[in-house]
A and B are shown apart, each in its own frame.
Chain A
Amino acid sequence: MIEERDRKLILVADDDKDLVTALTIRLKAAGYGVVGAYDGDEAFKQAQETRPDLIILDVRMPAGGGFDSIDKIKHSLTTRNIPVIFLTAFDDEQMREEARQLGASGFFRKPFDDAEFMGVIESVLAKPDGSGRR
């Protein structure tokens, strides 16, 4: 197991519970703390309560999708500086651009390359303002 990195906390929000579990295993193995959420409302609630260092958001989720969530996250005093990375099975240029405009730091399409994904997480977390972009 890799050294703990000051237990940086990552919120993973995806309605595919299996994927949340898999990401939890992978991220924990890389030394991160992980909290999960399975819909848009829960994602925003968890973001406010746990103040994670990074949020990984799915786009299509029940109770407000990823775009609703990032909108709230980026307009909330408590969460607006938390970097957000989208992880979605959609591959749409417009969606990618919208995510960028809403302040996302990365956009990954499922299925994704583990090494590249982990690399971006690391580089985003390394930036003091969390503005690292893919």
Chain B
Amino acid sequence: MRVISVKSYRVAYIGSDGDFAIALENALNAVGFPFMRETADTHGLQAAFDFKPDIVLWDRDGTQLEEKLPITALRQAGFTKQPVVAVARREDVDGAVNSLAGGAIDFIFKPLNENPVPRLLASLNAGQKQLLLDWYHRVIEDTNDQIRGILTTLVDPAYIVSPEFQILWTNRAAEEIFGEGQRGGACHHVFYDRTEPCEVCVKSKGSARWRAMLKNGKSYRFISAFVRNGRGEVERLVVGTDITPDEEVQKIHKTFIANVSHDLRTPLAAIDQYVNILLEGLAGDLTEDQRGYVDVIRRSSFRLNSLVENLIDANKILSGDFKLRMEVVTIKDIIDVVAGKLESQAADKQLMFQVQIADDLPHVYADKDRVAQVIANIAGNSIKFTEQGMIQIRAGFMPRDEGRVIVSVEDTGIGIPTEDLGKIFELFYRVEKDKVYVEEGAGLGLSISREIVRAHGGTLWAESMEGMGSAFHFALPAHSASTTAAGQGTQHRR
């Protein structure tokens, strides 16, 4: 038999099977591997340890030590690096397999009916790899511990995220800034206006940089990098830096916005006035054509005004300067503010327009103009994206949780693609799939609406079937618990 061996390994057999020991010794002698056998008792283990073996064969038979966890016993005896191969009777398949679970790197059946050397060499090889891997993971774990130690006291927020975008660890600053209880939650939930993982994280295959606003209104620049944990799994380490402008800069910004808003509204007011003077005939009668042209100016001016107001509102939301003028009102009062204008917009497109308000609705504590703005925004969208059919505004009562007044705007329009439904409330988001959607608008109205509803302690949500229509609902807490639930509906046909 020609045996090629490049290196000599020392092999210890711990067990009391003399026949097996002789067969093993013969096989090892053939390749020149030093061999020793010892019994599985304290004295034997010590002698085997002194032999300094590269690999240990542990016989499951006749051991006086804990046989189910051979590696534990051997490690305790000082064999910290050597791979352990279990030796089991051929019929003891379960025992052999259990040895693997106990920490053995492989098993050999006895009596030997093949040369055990190749299998021992493979175990040695695997054992070395395992040692290297263990060392590598220990180093990573130690390094990670050191990094976490440093990050813990960092004044900037730092956190570690799983590949499934779940926050696994946060430092103290992140806990303070994001609020407690974020561990285990979705990472994008710490950001303002995020309902899904950020695109930059989803797409990036290495480090990433992005800016985001937190729920406390502060702006942060984040950088992230992949790190490996002690188990070799890839995680994402994220560190943020506060880039919120200081108070002085914010004051300048606020003044700038106030001035720009003022200077944009001033000419719009004049346009508005002269258009109305012309349309009301205060400057003489207009021909049909002239009236049509002036009406174009009126509509364009209205759109421009809406855009300006939305931009100002978005700015207020982003700078945390969004205030409400609260009063006790009925939802009917609020709907009345906008119903006339919406009705005439719907009539322009020959759409049916209905308002249905349930009887005996409780009052709400709200900013009348702002809630009217929400209705105008969502109903305005409905009209914009409905070519035939109906726009319906309904108000009713939800008795749960001390009662809420719910307002629904439903249309028979083109609907919203399912994949966009979760994003339509994000700032500057526009559904771009259909050309109709990109015709106008800056993607501000719905996010502003949601902020307004949120600021009232309410919720705004949408449902839609593409091609069938959409329904937007918002619910505001009822002001008085004394009022009864909705009775029979009253139909107001307009």
Contacts and interface: CB of A to CB of B under 8 A. Distances in A.
Contacts of B274: 18, 22
A18 B270 CA distance: 7
A22 B312 CA distance: 26
A92 interface: yes
Given A89-B265, A90-B262, A110-B265, A26 B282 contact: yes
A111 interface: yes
A26 B275 CA distance: 12
Contacts of A89: 261-266, 269
Nearest to A112: B269
A82 to B, nearest CB: 23
B283 interface: yes
Interface in B259-282: 261-266, 268-274, 276-277, 280, 282
Interface string A30-62: 000000000000000000000000000000100
B305 interface: yes
A119 to B, nearest CB: 14
A93 B270 CA distance: 23
Q: Which of A60, A90, A110 has the most CB of B within 10 A?
A: A110
Contacts of A60: 262
A29 interface: yes
A92 B258 contact: yes
A114 interface: yes
A72 interface: no
A18 B275 CA distance: 13
B282 A111 contact: no
A16 B270 contact: yes
A110 B271 CA distance: 11
B323 interface: yes
Given A89-B266, A93-B323, A110-B266, A22 B273 contact: yes
Contacts of A91: 261, 312
A90 B282 contact: no
B325 interface: yes
Given A89-B263, A91-B312, A23 B325 contact: no
A24 B273 CA distance: 11
Given A109-B265, A110-B265, A114-B276, A19 B258 contact: no
Interface residues of B, number: 23
Interface string A99-127: 00000000001111010000000000000
A7 to B, nearest CB: 19
Contacts of B272: 111-112
Nearest to B271: A111
Contacts of B277: 22, 25-26
Given A89-B266, A93-B323, A23 B261 contact: no
B282 A25 contact: yes
Nearest to A60: B262
A48 to B, nearest CB: 27
Contacts of B258: 90, 92
A114 B266 CA distance: 15
Nearest to A93: B323
Contacts of B280: 29
Contacts of B269: 16, 19, 89, 110-112
A60 B255 CA distance: 14
A18 B274 CA distance: 9
Contact of B270 (A22, A90, A92): A22
Contacts of B325: 93
A61 to B, nearest CB: 12
B283 A25 contact: yes
A112 B369 CA distance: 13
Contacts of A26: 273, 276-277, 282
Nearest to B341: A113
Contacts of B282: 25-26, 29
A87 B223 CA distance: 48
A9 to B, nearest CB: 20
Contacts of A23: 273
Interface in B448-462: none
B323 A111 contact: no
Nearest to A116: B337
A93 B263 CA distance: 18
A25 B276 CA distance: 11
Contacts of B265: 89, 109-111
A29 B283 CA distance: 10
Nearest to A23: B273
A90 B262 CA distance: 5
Chain B CB within 10 A, most for which of A25, A89, A92, A114? A89
22 contacts: A16-B266, A16-B270, A18-B270, A19-B266, A19-B269, A22-B270, A22-B273, A25-B277, A26-B276, A26-B277, A60-B262, A89-B263, A89-B265, A89-B266, A89-B269, A110-B269, A111-B265, A111-B268, A111-B271, A111-B305, A112-B272, A114-B273
Interface of A: 16, 18-19, 22-23, 25-26, 29, 60, 88-93, 109-112, 114
Interface of B: 258, 261-266, 268-274, 276-277, 280, 282-283, 305, 312, 323, 325
Given A111-B265, A112-B272, 17 more contacts: A18-B274, A19-B266, A19-B270, A19-B273, A22-B270, A22-B277, A25-B277, A25-B282, A25-B283, A26-B277, A26-B282, A60-B262, A90-B261, A110-B269, A111-B271, A111-B272, A114-B273
A-B complex: 10 closest residue pairs judged by Cβ atoms: A110-B269, A22-B273, A89-B265, A111-B269, A89-B262, A111-B272, A18-B270, A89-B266, A19-B270, A110-B265
